[in-house]
Every structure is written in C-alpha cells, then in structure tokens.
Structure 1
Amino acid sequence: MRVAPVVNQIELHPYFPQQEAIDYHRAHGILVQAWSPLCRGNDLRENPTIVEIRAAHGITPAQALLAWHVARQVVPLPKEASPQRQQENLDIFGIKLTDAEVEAITALGRPDGRLKDQDPAVYEEF
C-alpha cells in the first residue's frame, strides 16, 4: 500500500518562491510548510519591494514576508527566540496583501535563491 504525504516541508521564501512545487503539492492535496520563510542572512528585509509593502501596511518586514506565505496558502515556520517577535509573527492573520503585492514579492525569486546551496538532492547537514 502506498501512502501519499499530507505535508511537505521545503525551502521557500521570496528569493526561492518555488511556485511550481506549490502547484504540484496543491494538485495532490499536500500542504506545503516553508522552512527559512524569512530568508535570514541576506538583504531581503531591506529589499525595496518589502520595505514599500511593509510601510503601506504599517507592519514589520517579517510580518510582510509571513503574510506573503499565508496569501500563497503556505505554512511558514519561522525561527525566533524573542517573545516580542514571536508575538509579531503570530499577528499576521489579519494582514491582507493585495494580489499585486503578492506578485511583486514572488517576482523577487532568482535562480540562485537557495540559501547556502542547500539542494536536498545533494546537501547533507551532518
């Protein structure tokens, strides 16, 4: 007997939006969870697109990024040690990005968007 997965956790953030993977998962009834949804360790939070959207909604850059994931029906799994930022991360469900804002963030994708070249076909953590 073959059992299909219900959830698949993949690297997913604006620099690596993986729309094709999301479409595949959705077509097969698989929920997508995003690891590294905030794409830490680079300039994403200062990107002019993110800054503009953040300012338009009066939210933090992290909230703009997490709202983008939710708008795409992806479950983001942000890592955060600060209780204040954890609360901010939870306060995203009232944020409604426009279709144009979602498209603008998705358009930030780039061929070298993976973090640290972590291609699961070849990358080993240990």
Structure 2
Amino acid sequence: MKAFEKAIVGLILIIGLSLLLINNPEDAHENYMTINIDGTVVEKAKISEHLNETITIEIEGDIDAKIEVDKKGRVRVLPMPKDACPLGICSHTGWISKPGEAIVCMPNKMIVKIE
C-alpha cells in the first residue's frame, strides 16, 4: 500500500469510529415512547432503564388499549378484547426497548414506538 492509500484507510477508520461513539444508542439512557393513533400522537413519555415501578398507560376512546412500561424501560401492549383486535398481533409482539422498534395494531391504527 502506498502512503496515500494508508492515509485514506486511516481517515475512513477515524470517521467510522467517531460516528459510532457519537450515535451509540447504548449510551442514551433515556428514550421516548410515542403512541400514535390514526397518525396523531396521543402520548409521548420519557422512559429509562431505572424506573421505580411498572407503569400502565391506558388509552381510552374508540379503543381501550393498555400499554405497559416495566422497570427496565421495556414497552409492550397488553392483550385487548377479540372484538377490538381480533388477531392480537400487537400484544403477541412482546417487549420492545431499543430506538426504532415498534408495535403496530392495524385494526386500531395504533403504533407504539421507541425513539
């Protein structure tokens, strides 16, 4: 390798490592959970891995959904009645905890995601 090629490889490595350090989601101890229903944000809450207790958020109205946030900062949708969500895919999704993860309930047009 020529000196110029070594310099390019070194520059790429430095840029890559600095991007990892800047955008590392593991360093972010506080995430946000948003609940959207039919495209409208109905709830936005800060969640962390150090909660004192499990929190249940109740969404009332056309749907009666319950979203649970546990002490580890994980989020899930609790089971709904069959007439509200026939297949229950949203509650079967289980826990989400990382930015970018989402739970979708198509019959109720609800999206719960971590940001």
**Is TM (by shorter chain) over 0.5?**
no
Greater percentage in helix: 1
Greater percentage in strand: 2
User: How high is the TM-score relative to the length of structure 2?
Assistant: 0.30
| Larger of the two Rg values belongs to structure | 2
Q: Which has the higher contact order (CA 8 A, sep 6+)?
A: 1
